[in-house]
Amino acid sequence: MLTALAAIVIFGVIVLLHELGHFLAARHFGVRVEEFSIGFGPAVFSRRGKNGTLYSVRMLPLGGYNMLAQENGPAPDAAPQDTAAPPLAQGGRVCVGGRTYPEAGVWQRFFIIAAGAVMNFVLGFALLILLQCAQEGVATRIVYDFLPGATSSAGGLQAGDKILAVNGHNCFVWGDILYEIDHAGYQPVEMVVLRGGARVRLPAVRVSPATDAEGNELPIDFHVYGVKNSPATVLQGAAGNFLYYARALARSFLDLFRGATPVSDLSGPVGVIEKVHEAVQYGWRDVVSLAVLLTINLGIFNLLPLPGLDGGKLAFLLIEGVTGHKVPARFEQAITVAGMLLLVGLMFYVTFNDVTRFF
């Protein structure tokens, strides 16, 4: 029951805020939103606002959606629309009026589509601030000491070393170091450290999981220095961790497209719910950390320039903005439909894999 509730809240908030980003951006640029809905399925409650938008609460509280006026173009038998720009309010802000999505400027439409991912990133950053405030301090990249039997010290790593890079990848925060070591499968890695003001290359450092004196299992066999929380360090730590998540997810997508990661490793809703169940067992911090991963993942995934995703729409808008010519509607719609079909097929595939993997 607790897992189901946590999954509903996580999925609901992440998707809802994504759609809220589109909604607020559309309202800002005067584009009419036909409906803004919390949830899917039959309507439990609905009310039309003064601006003409239908606000709905639906039976299945899994996210939400908003429907922009003529987002997919006018109907074939639609009457011609007045394309005059809406008036400006005091301060130059566009009034929330009744113009349709195609009537908005190309860069305004670009921002409306991108705003969903931006809202996901804002949510992720806010949750990272919460997590950082719940910790005693911010972990640095400077080695403090080693656990008994540490293999990393045998590879040349010393107390006081500041780890700058692992396997040729720059490490900006503590999470980067953990990611690179795990990505290498705990095989020996090349490290570049700052020691006594000079950069030192360590060609083969084997870092192993370890257990501390209290019996806690740790992912690596050494400790690093920490800095106590303050308003500045909390923001700095949250920003660094945000970049760590974004960088790791972007590299994961790149590995997928290059074939370095098989498609069978992807997880769908069933796999995510299983991860939610595991996080619930460990406590609220793990649940929030999973929410951070999912919301940043949704933001990055939606920005991929693939047909059927927000990134595909942004690619067409970018072509229009640079060339001054809109991509033919039939071509764009055909590409989008094909992309949607592929995405639906991928969703069925990963869901089937999840079911066979866990059941």
Length of the chain: 359
234-253 pLDDT tens trace? 999 999 999 999 998 988 88
pLDDT given at position 281: 87
Instruction: Note whether 43 and 57 are within 8 A (CB).
Output: yes
Q: Give SS3 for 229.
A: coil
The C-alpha atoms of residue 332 and residue 307 are separated, in whole angstroms, by 9
Kindly list the domain boundaries of the chain, sorted by start residue.
2-132+289-358, 138-228
pLDDT given at position 72: 64
End-to-end CA distance of the chain: 19
pLDDT given at position 97: 52
Nearest Cα neighbor of 147 from 194, 207, 205 is 207
pLDDT given at position 126: 97
CATH annotation of 138-228: 2.30.42.10
Phi and psi dihedrals of 119, rounded to 5? -65, -35
Token pair for residue 287? 């649940």
Angle ∠(267,268,269) on CA atoms, nearest 5: 130
Low-confidence residues of the chain: pLDDT under 70: 1, 61-63, 71-98, 358-359
User: pTM value?
Assistant: 0.82
Token pair for residue 293? 């991963």
The C-alpha atoms of residue 295 and residue 310 are separated, in whole angstroms, by 15
The H or E element containing residue 289 is helix 284-303
Angle between helices 231-258 and 284-303 (to 10 degrees): 50
pLDDT given at position 359: 66
Task: Return the beta strands (E) in the chain as ranges.
Answer: 33-48, 54-68, 137-146, 162-166, 169-170, 189-195, 198-205, 210-211, 217-218, 222-228
32-60 pLDDT tens trace? 899 998 888 899 989 988 778 899 988 87
The C-alpha atoms of residue 338 and residue 358 are separated, in whole angstroms, by 30
pLDDT given at position 98: 66
Helices (H) and strands (E) in the chain, counts: 8, 10
Q: Give SS3 for 88.
A: strand
pLDDT given at position 74: 56
Instruction: Note whether 260 and 192 are within 8 A (CB).
Output: no
Instruction: Note whether 292 and 128 are within 8 A (CB).
Output: yes
Non-local CB neighbours of 71 within 8 Å, separated by 6+ positions: 101
The H or E element containing residue 182 is helix 174-183
pLDDT given at position 93: 39
